[in-house]
Structure formats: structure tokens, C-alpha cells
Amino acid sequence: MKSPAPFEMPAYVIDRVMKKRGRIRVFERFEPSETALVVIDMQEFYVRDVPEAIAIIPNINRLAAAMRARGGAVAWVKMVAGKDGESLWPIYHDYFFTAENGARHRDNLTEGAPGQALRADLDAQPEDIYASKSRFSAFVPGKSDLMEKLGERGIRNVVIVGMLTNFCCETSARDAMMLDYRVAMVSDANAARYAEDHNIGFSTVFQSFGDVVTVEELLGEMLVAAAPDKAG
């Protein structure tokens, strides 16, 4: 299994960010107990044909184990596109696909279909959160049950990983921030079919929606417990 390709934020994007907010990082740290790793669409139908998605599985599993160990939550979010042979998102299937491709997407992502299942080599545990969505974003009220489940655990911060970087992951990051979650995307735990799409997704989020960090930066710098208060 190949390693994820490294991502480097373009210099012009960094320049824009520095002029706007005067610092690289939006959030210095996330309190682990208020944080969820949100894993988007790592389902057999999507993952099997995208080598870049297969390559990030070890990093996702590492992050999931670390999140649990530090008192955070892990949420696995799956796309569900059809029910009883009917589309749950007709405008998408009718207008953005050929008829054949729309039916393929709908049927493979109908709940219970083999393609709708999580990829088998993901380290999903019984105590984790399991949610579904019928739109790109996991944070669309009425189209996903993720927010309710995060609320039950007091989650304020979301770390978004999975696929595709510039579709479901980016739109989830945008919507989460606009719903007042603190957001980070992990550059070596997201995947897209094309390098250009992968890169532009991060560039957009970094400017106005959240942080873009590596696995090492998240675990070594952001997802750490607060230093003990030595006063008194």
C-alpha cells in the first residue's frame, strides 16, 4: 500500500491567510474530550477504485485509535443514496449522471448493499458513532443524523478525514464551521481522485473554514490535553 502524497499549501494561499488573520493556525489546540474524528464516506463502493483512498486507511486507523485513547469520539459517516429502488437525492441522480451511472450510484449506496458498507480494513469499534447522510455534507440538517449524535457527546471540534477531499469532506468542513464547530482537515488522511481536486479542497478550507494539518501536527500539537494549572 502506497503512502499518501504529501500536501504543501501554496505560497499565495499562505500570503492571503497571513494578511487576513495574521497567523497560520486558526486553532492552537482542541480539547480531546470535546473532539470527534469524523470519517466521511470510506465505503466499499467509493474506496475500491481510488488508490489514494486505500492509501489513507492506516492514517485514519491511527487517528481513530489516538482519538479514543485521548477521550475523544470517532464518527463513521456513510452516504445512503437510495431506498427501495428510489433515489434519496433525485436532483443529483437525474441531472448530474447518465441514467446508467445515476442508477449505479443509487443502488450501490442503498443501505444494506455491499458497496454501502464501510471498508473492511477500517478500525471501526462498537463504541464509535455511526451516522448516515444523503447529501455531500454530513452537516445538513434533516439530511444527516450526525449533528444530533455529536451533540449527545458534547462535541465542539471536528477533525474531518476520508473522501473525497473536495466533495463530501470539503463541504462537511464548510458546513460544520458555519454551524459553529471548530474544524480541522487532515491533509494525509483525506483523499481525492485527482491531485488538483485534493489540493484545491484544502486551499479553500484553509482560507476561511478551518485548519489543514498533518496527522503528526494534529496528534503532536493540536489534540493534546491542557497543561495543568500550577497556580496556588
DSSP secondary structure letters along the chain: -PPPPP----HHHHHHHHHHHSSS-S-S---GGGEEEEEE--BHHHHTT-HHHHHTHHHHHHHHHHHHHTT-EEEEEEE--EETTEES-HHHHHHSS-HHHHHHHHHHTBTTSGGGSBPTTS---TTSEEEEESSS-S--BTTBSHHHHHHHTT--EEEEEEE-IIIIIHHHHHHHHHTT-EEEEEEEEEE-SSHHHHHHHHHHHHHHT-EEE-HHHIIIIIS-PPPPP---
pLDDT at 169 over 90: yes
Section 72-80 average pLDDT: 98
Q: pTM of the full predicted structure?
A: 0.96
Q: Output the pLDDT for position 114.
A: 98
> For residue 232, is pLDDT > 70?
no
Cα separation of 174 and 100, whole Å?
31
Percentage of the chain exceeding pLDDT 70: 97
Q: Is the pLDDT of residue 18 over 60?
A: yes
The CA distances from residue 62 to 8, 43, 65, 174, 197, in Å, are 22, 18, 5, 25, 25
Whether residue 214 is predicted with pLDDT greater than 80 in this model: the reply is yes
Q: Which is more confidently placed, 1 or 197?
A: 197
With pLDDT > 90 as the criterion, what percentage of the chain qualifies?
93
Q: What is the mean pLDDT of residues 56-67?
A: 98
Mean pLDDT of 164-173: 97
User: Please, which pLDDT band fits residue 11 given cuts at 50, 70 and 90?
Assistant: very high
Kindly report the number of other CB atoms within 10 A of residue 204's CB atom. Answer: 16
Residues sharing a CB contact under 8 Å with residue 74, sequence separation 6 or more, in sequence order:
36, 37, 39, 64, 67, 68, 124, 125, 128, 129
Tell me the mean pLDDT in the region 85-112. 98
Q: What is the pLDDT of residue 229?
A: 61
Integer Cα distance of 119 and 42 in angstroms: 6
Q: With cut-offs at 50, 70 and 90, classify the pLDDT of residue 231.
A: low
Return d(Cα 138, Cα 130) in angstroms, integer. Answer: 12
CA distance 163 to 79: 11
Query: Rounded distance, CA 14 to CA 202, Å?
Result: 12
For residue 127, pLDDT over 90 is answered with yes
pLDDT at 227 over 90: no
Mean pLDDT of 18-30: 97
pLDDT single digits (tens) 181-194? 999 999 999 999 99
Per-chain mean pLDDT for the chain: 96
Q: Is the pLDDT of residue 57 over 80?
A: yes
Domains located in the chain, CATH noted: 11-78+118-222 (3.40.50.850)
Residues in CB range of 172: below 8 A, 6 or more apart: 38, 40, 77, 136, 137, 138, 139, 160
The answer on pLDDT for 119 being more than 70 is yes
